[in-house]
Chains A and B, each alone.
Chain A
């Protein structure tokens, strides 16, 4: 590990910018946030990811000050922020609807927060100009929000929320209203701006691709609890539960029982009459414990002949082919009835594709390709 890598969460000395301490939020009978403890560090780009209703928006609104925790405490830079109203917090938010003030021009929208601070006029001018430049909106300063396009509105909202130099910027589904192509460009722009300004960003999204692209760490939430917090690659490669494995990306889940077989290695029996699968796992399993093997489709190789030296190989029949242009996903039915997805890059033209429907093929993967997860 090099020193230049940004990983304050691995540094025991690092003080978190935000600390949630056993925070619970209840609305009547409904528990939106359930005894949650997390740390978010300075300069982080922290993504809250989960299905709708998982509590991610509530979490963000508590940081902004629009909701107060029922139990527990939230610290911002070491200070308990429960008694601080939203207008006194060094936290700004970019709203999902952008919430641009329709009666004010782009310039006035960006200057709005600065004027409330009673900043001298020429400082406001400078700051707004800098924000317009950062978001490439110089030409639109005099326009009203309804006179600019959706992508430009999104940038105005970002500029407005960054203008006050917040310690923390909250982004609520910031790209939800943009079309796919614009969204992808904007993701990189967001990362760029985050790096330039050095602000801590917390983003709420239900789009896992977006979370993986922009975030330094991703927190996967479900039913008011954090299931896993990790860097995008660890979330993808080493999910800690079947829920996370299934929620992030595409995955094959094979159910079976584990039998220890050497150090960190397990033989996993998964179906009567089939040889057990060889799996390496750092997680410990007892003899006969029920488990799931989670394996990503792109880590499953597909071939017409039985591979000579594969750790695991199973035979099946191609049920379906999803052609996505750059890649193809093959749905292969095993004799047990289970369907395994295998993904390959289309490095050759489609006319030269080796397999077609109903072909009998071999699927193979290495012992370390998948992750063994407890029930």
Chain B
């Protein structure tokens, strides 16, 4: 193994320091005894205890999770259908226009998306609450799902679907029994992406939420405006650890699967 040159070592250290020092500081101060965020007064887990007593935060967390689950599920269904039609639908009128339009929300400033949705909800007289946030998140997460799924569909061997038709499937059966199981990993990562986007969205949610429903990012943001409390540090630390565990598990599972598949292929070639 080559030793790392000093230049590479320095670049690596600086880069990762830039990325992670803010988070490390946040985690450290979540264990601070003092109520003042910037003054260290010894180790304590009392803020975690207080967090569990804070009903407003717990409610907001529950709303956030509900919104994320519903909106990412709806976005996954709609996004997958859209991707399938755009990749497989053949050359119908305006296909190029449609594929361009599905990407547009990706580059649209969130403020504009949020504002336009707000105007729509007011226009049709929809009371703002959990339901409107779900709709709004579905709208913008759907195009992310569609991008992820269509990139998988482009490399999908079409003869697999033809084989399914040839063996007696109706087109719907071919999709359910062959296409969907094979593109499932892409659909799942689309869902995860939509879920994450919904979890940490502040801008669109603040346009479309009502007094009855507040998501966690909105709650944190408004709490911070009154001053950063160690409670928020504790909450953020919990979120960071959940994400970290998720990412590590996902990469371990993937690594394990890839290794197993490789072993099996080698075994098949030898046989």
Q: CB within 8 Å of B: which residues of A?
A: 64-66, 85-88, 91-93, 95-97, 99, 101-103, 112-113, 116-117, 143-144, 146-149, 152, 160-161, 164
Q: Does B211 contact A (CB under 8 A)?
A: no
Q: Does B50 contact A (CB under 8 A)?
A: no
Q: Does B173 contact A (CB under 8 A)?
A: yes
Q: CB within 8 Å of A: which residues of B?
A: 157, 159-160, 162-170, 173, 177-178, 181-182, 261, 264-265, 267-269, 271
- State whether A86 touches B268 (Cβ < 8 A): no
**Other contacts beyond A91-B166, A101-B163: 14, CB < 8 A:** A64-B166, A85-B165, A86-B165, A87-B165, A87-B166, A87-B168, A99-B159, A101-B160, A101-B164, A102-B182, A116-B169, A147-B264, A149-B269, A152-B268
Contacts of A147 in B (CB 8 A): 264-265, 267-268
For the complex, give the distance between the alpha carbons of A144 and B178 in Å. 14
For the complex, give the distance between the alpha carbons of A149 and B271 in Å. 7
- Sample 25 A-B pairs with CB under 8 A, ordered by A number: A65-B165, A66-B165, A86-B162, A87-B165, A87-B167, A88-B168, A92-B166, A93-B163, A93-B166, A95-B162, A95-B163, A96-B159, A97-B159, A99-B159, A101-B160, A101-B178, A103-B182, A113-B167, A116-B168, A116-B173, A146-B264, A147-B265, A147-B267, A148-B268, A161-B166
- State whether A164 touches B167 (Cβ < 8 A): yes
Contacts of A102 in B (CB 8 A): 182
Chain B residue with Cβ nearest A91? B166
Contacts of B163 in A (CB 8 A): 93, 95, 99, 101, 160
For the complex, give the distance between the alpha carbons of A218 and B177 in Å. 37
Contacts A99-B159, A147-B265, A147-B267 given; indicate if A86 touches B166 (C-beta within 8 A). yes
For the complex, give the distance between the alpha carbons of A144 and B269 in Å. 13
B199 to A: closest C-beta gap in Å:
30
Select the residue from A65, A87, A92, A143 with max chain B CB neighbours within 10 A: A87
Contacts of B164 in A (CB 8 A): 101, 112
Select the residue from B163, B177, B182 with max chain A CB neighbours within 10 A: B163
For the complex, give the distance between the alpha carbons of A69 and B177 in Å. 29
B90 to A: closest C-beta gap in Å:
13
- State whether A149 touches B268 (Cβ < 8 A): yes
Chain A residue with Cβ nearest B270? A149
- State whether B268 touches A95 (Cβ < 8 A): no
Chain B residue with Cβ nearest A148? B268
Contact of B170 among A66, A87, A99, A148 (CB under 8 A): A87
For the complex, give the distance between the alpha carbons of A92 and B160 in Å. 13
- State whether A146 touches B167 (Cβ < 8 A): no
Contacts of B167 in A (CB 8 A): 87, 92, 112-113, 116, 160-161, 164
For the complex, give the distance between the alpha carbons of A112 and B177 in Å. 10
Contacts of A93 in B (CB 8 A): 162-163, 166
Contacts of B261 in A (CB 8 A): 146
What are the 8 closest A-B residue pairs judged by CB atoms, nearest first? A113-B167, A116-B168, A99-B163, A99-B159, A86-B165, A95-B159, A103-B181, A147-B264
B256 to A: closest C-beta gap in Å:
16
A153 to B: closest C-beta gap in Å:
9
- State whether B168 touches A97 (Cβ < 8 A): no
Contacts of A85 in B (CB 8 A): 165
Select the residue from B162, B166, B170, B268 with max chain A CB neighbours within 10 A: B166
Chain A residue with Cβ nearest B178? A101
For the complex, give the distance between the alpha carbons of A97 and B156 in Å. 12
Contacts of B160 in A (CB 8 A): 99, 101
Contacts A116-B167, A146-B265 given; indicate if A99 touches B182 (C-beta within 8 A). no
For the complex, give the distance between the alpha carbons of A144 and B261 in Å. 10
B155 to A: closest C-beta gap in Å:
13
For the complex, give the distance between the alpha carbons of A92 and B261 in Å. 30
B262 to A: closest C-beta gap in Å:
10
Chain A residue with Cβ nearest B184? A103
